[in-house]
Amino acid sequence: MEKLLLLWLALALTAISTQAQDPQFSQFYANPLYLNPAFAGTNGCGRINLNFRDQWPQLSGQFVTTSASYDQHSSALNGGMGILISSDNAGQGTFITNRVGVIYSYIKDLNRDYSFSFAMQADVEQKTVNGQNFIFGDRIDPVKGISNNVGEVVATTTKSYADFSTGAILYGKYVQAGFSAHHLFEPEQSLIGKSALLPRKYTAHMGVNIPLERGRGARHLNSYISPQIIYQQQRDFKELNLGVFVKKGVLTGGLWYRTRDAIIASIAIQTKHFRVGYSYDATLSNLSVASVGSHEIAIGYTFQCRIQNKKPKRMACPGWG
């Protein structure tokens, strides 16, 4: 128990020293608005995505992150609109971050094969430190352990602020490439004491869908292999993700390598409107024994709609469409 407590404290201090890196989802394209706001509206019809991630569940103070999003295309707006809600819970309610964001994307067909999407996102974010969850030395008995006697207490502290992000994607049926920048103005997020700016995060992603069959199946991408690359940087934190999806009918499998951190395996079942996926992160660092990896579940639903003249072009998201 003491080792787990010390390990969690070390992780928390590391997060503070790196100035609060954003939570990470491993099923990148199952949570498209979180990856890049320019995905809003590129699916054409409205869609809902629900995501749950339990990071390092073996630790007593694991990190649990959830998100929910909705987006759709709007001809009246010449683009797409979306809403993204997320919550990050660290240390079993000790440190909580909640965020609500709205997105507008301008989508332009460049030619018969390619479209371009540019988006802006505005968020309201709230961070809370629950002081009641802290345990100090005056409550620890050397023989009996933690007592129920009231000891030193830290007040619960909350900080709210506005945040802005942007992104762009060039996409066709078989290829997509995009870039996003989150926390454009690096908002002040300090809860106590000196200034602590939320570092800007940059994401670049690119992938191709290679059909594995000819004829009608190829036109509808029922079977394909999809190599992908995603690079992210947030101040001194840099991460490269290399992966591949293989889709055959309703079944999609994925395998990713996250540099120096994890190997990610995923599997998903998708019908015309419904999708459910599961992924597991096998930790490669020294945390592997104590953390026992990470689990993630993603659920999506696409509504049926009528798109006039098939415009705008619908993006076949890797591992999705």
Domain count, the chain: 1
Over the stretch 231-267, which tens digit does the pLDDT of each residue have?
A: 999 999 999 999 999 999 899 999 999 987 899 999 9
Average pLDDT, stretch 214-232?
A: 79
Average pLDDT, stretch 95-121?
A: 95
C-beta of residue 30 within 8 angstroms of C-beta of residue 275? yes
Q: What distance in Å separates the CA atoms of residue 137 and residue 211, rounded to the nearest whole number? A: 62
Omega cis (within 30) before 187: no
Q: Would 192 be classed as within a structural domain?
A: yes
Q: Would 248 be classed as within a structural domain?
A: yes
Domain CATH code at residue 255: 2.40.160.40
Q: What distance in Å separates the CA atoms of residue 206 and residue 248, rounded to the nearest whole number? A: 21
Q: Would 178 be classed as within a structural domain?
A: yes
Q: What distance in Å separates the CA atoms of residue 211 and residue 221, rounded to the nearest whole number? A: 6
Q: Would 113 be classed as within a structural domain?
A: yes
Q: Would 9 be classed as within a structural domain?
A: yes
Whole-model pTM? 0.84
Over the stretch 299-321, which tens digit does the pLDDT of each residue have?
A: 999 998 876 555 556 776 665 54
Q: Would 145 be classed as within a structural domain?
A: yes
DSSP state of 31: S
pLDDT tier at 61, thresholds 50, 70, 90: low
> Higher pLDDT residue, 103 or 196?
103
Q: What distance in Å separates the CA atoms of residue 62 and residue 74, rounded to the nearest whole number? A: 40
Task: Look at the chain and count its residues.
Answer: 321
Please state, in angstroms and as integers, the Cα–Cα distance from residue 274 to each residue in 4, 190, 321, following that order. 39, 41, 11
Look up the domain containing 96 and give its range: 2-310
The rounded mean pLDDT for the chain is: 83
Average pLDDT, stretch 71-78?
A: 93
Residue type, 67: S
Per-residue tokens: 155: 């007040």
Q: Would 249 be classed as within a structural domain?
A: yes
Q: Would 315 be classed as within a structural domain?
A: no
What stretches of the chain adopt beta strand conformation (E)? 47-55, 63-74, 79-90, 95-109, 115-129, 140-141, 145-146, 157-171, 175-182, 201-208, 210-211, 223-234, 237-248, 251-258, 262-270, 274-283, 294-302
